Amino acid sequence: MKNKAKLFLCGLALAMSGLLMPAQSDTIAAGADGTVQKKAKCPRRVAVLLETVKPATFSEYRYLSGQGQFDVIAVVSPIAGIVSEIKVDEGTLVDAGQELAILNADQDEKIKVLEQETEKKKEILTARQNWKVKSERAIQTAEQDYQAALTLLEESRILANRIILAPLAGIARVKTVAGAEIAQETLMFEIVDTLHLRVNAALDADAAGFFNSGEKLMSAAEGFSGELEAEIVAVSKSQVGFRVNNSAGQLREGMTINCKKLKAEHIDAIMVPASAIQHDGLGDFVYTADKKKAKKLYVTLGASEAGKTMIEKGLVANTQLIVSGFECLSDKKKIRVVNEEQMANEKAEALAKQKVEKAEAEKKTAAQIRGIEEFIAHLEANRETLQYERYEKTKINKQPVLKIFSGLETQKKLIELITQYAVKQITFELKDEQVISTITFKIPERVAKKEEKPAIGEKAGLFGGRLRFAAHGTYYIMLDKNFKDAYVGLSGFGGSLAFRFASKMDFWVSGGLAAKNSTPEWSSEEMKFRLIPLSAAVRYYLLEKGKLSAFAGAGPNVFMVKDVNPAGDIKTTIVGFNALAGGYYQLSRKVFAQLFLKFNLVRKDLYPDSTLDDPLNLSGLELNLGVGIRL
């Protein structure tokens, strides 16, 4: 009997799992409020385009990508001195070797004086060398003075009129001013190298050692057509630096530069358009054509390049691959093969139809919104055109009514005009050569805000979705050893009703029947146990997300018990307590599945006057699994 109970629960679980599988239909599963959201209306036969899968060579690349920046070269002062002249303006485009500035200009007079002093020192040295009585000390002193003067003269000549040249072509940024006294190594200019873009690209961990300094790469820039010349100039563990030739001057700072290097070539590879690959909870798949039906094939994906993805497993050559119509496709869905021209025509027709339907719906909505007040505003604004005498606003049977007094020409214009407003009816009366037009308007209704509009397919139930009926299978796990020895376990069925009386609370009642027969080892007579459980609880909803709702609650139990056995028959009613927790899973707008676990505390002393302590204890766990409907 224990095995039968397990089989019963397993069968019920399998049935529930079958119900949980999405049905092949034109609607999406129910939302959090149990309503069905429709997707695009789909025909019985879906129009599709086919492409024959052909093996071909697939080139796989590794990519580098980063934003380009111009290199900036610093020009510093080779000597200390005074900036005599700046020969370029800020932002000037300069050539390599072009003069940028002059240091220490106008030093001719100073140099002339130094030359004269040096010549004097030389003459003194010569004279002392020609003395009749020579003095080595005097000659040495004169020689030192002469060398010092000569050194000072040479240094002055070097420092004077020092020209600063541009080390390369580019845009000059001026960092000093004329007349400034500067030290050696002071920054004077920056030259922006516009002929090259420097890019630092992040390097994937698995690409270490793949890129090498000095390699030439194929590259391209966003917004630039054609290939660019690029060269790797530096490689580290985490990034690669490469330089892009910009001799044509078409690249700008901040442009994203993409480079690629061939990683592998796959011969006779199976490739499909990346757009043909679909995804679900089980993985990646494609649709193929099989006897005028779509067939879902799960595949293992490889690398992707230029809108094509390599299939490593799951698809073979010469298969007819479906490459369009995915919004309406499902496994074994009937298909209709068309060519590209037919597909374009059908899409254009469908789009035109949608526009017409949308325009009509908007017109109808506008007409429903525009009532008597809007009509009066139109009358007053177009009095000369409509040519009416006067109008009267009143009510008949609580309906807003407008009477317009005019001639026959106005009557014709009113007939055309009322189609744009929420008009219930219009009648005409001829009195004293005057037409009285009586227009009855619909009672104004609250217009839902755009975000409050019900979704397609949404429809409030009889009780606004607050009432639930369910049928369930039940399995009891009793804690009492005597019961387990006699009956092992207990299974049954039942039904329940729940009413949502607050935003997160409902009242739940349940009833059922469970029975078990067993023959004990100590007797040849069969034992028969029957239980009618009645339960109630107030439940609180802990979670409501998507299709899933989770709750917990507590309440009373009433168990009606009948036990026929050789030791003595028992027929009694026991009152107890229960605590439960579980959840609902919405299968559609109305239908749901339920699963909950309930703990029952049910115990009764059958012989209170006896000294024998052997109560009837039906406390234990109760597992419920079922389906229901929401109203």
Look at residue 21 and tell me whether its pLDDT is greater than 60.
Answer: no
Looking at the chain, the number of H-run helices and the number of E-run strands are: 8, 37
Q: Give ∠ CA 358-359-364 in degrees, rounded to 5.
A: 95
pLDDT band at 518, cuts 50/70/90? confident
Helix axes 108-129, 136-159, angle to 10 degrees: 160
Look at residue 111 and tell me whether its pLDDT is greater than 50.
Answer: yes
Q: DSSP per residue over 579-627, as a string?
A: EEEEEEEESSSSEEEEEEEEEEE-EE-S-TTSS----EE--EEEEEEEE
**42-53+277-337 belongs to CATH 3.30.70.100:** no
Q: How many CB atoms lie within 10 A of CB 118?
A: 20
Look at residue 477 and tell me whether its pLDDT is greater than 80.
Answer: yes
Mean pLDDT in residue range 358-378? 74
SS (H, E, C) 158-189: HHCCEEEECCCCEEEEECCCCCCEECCCCEEE
pLDDT of residue 474: 95
Q: What are phi and psi of 254, to 5 degrees?
A: 90, -15
Mean pLDDT in residue range 516-544? 87
Look at residue 158 and tell me whether its pLDDT is greater than 50.
Answer: yes
pLDDT of residue 318: 92
Mean pLDDT in residue range 368-389? 84
Contacts (Cβ under 8 Å, ≥6 apart) of 466: 499, 500, 501, 506, 631
For 455-630, the fitting CATH number among 1.20.1250.20, 3.30.420.40, 3.90.1640.30, 2.40.160.20 is: 2.40.160.20
pLDDT of residue 493: 95
Q: Looking at per-residue confidence, does 363 or 572 come out higher?
A: 572
pLDDT of residue 499: 93
pLDDT digits (tens, 9 = 90+) for 33-82: 333 344 457 888 999 999 999 999 999 888 888 888 888 889 998 888 88
pLDDT of residue 446: 41
CA atoms within 13 A on the CB side of 115: 7
% residues pLDDT > 70 (the chain): 85
Q: How many CB atoms lie within 10 A of CB 391?
A: 18
Q: Looking at per-residue confidence, does 220 or 506 come out higher?
A: 506
Q: Which CATH class is domain 370-441?
A: alpha beta
Task: Give the DSSP H/E element, type plus range, for residue 95.
Answer: none
Mean pLDDT in residue range 150-169? 78
Domains of the chain by residue range: 42-53+277-337, 370-441, 455-630
pLDDT of residue 363: 65
Mean pLDDT in residue range 352-368? 71
Give the highest mean pLDDT range of 236-240, 294-298, 303-307, 371-375: 294-298
pLDDT band at 611, cuts 50/70/90? low
pLDDT of residue 459: 40
Return mean pLDDT, the chain: 82
375-379, 523-527, 569-573: least confidently modelled range: 523-527
pLDDT of residue 609: 67
155-164, 386-395, 434-443: least confidently modelled range: 155-164
Mean pLDDT in residue range 139-158? 78
pLDDT of residue 471: 96
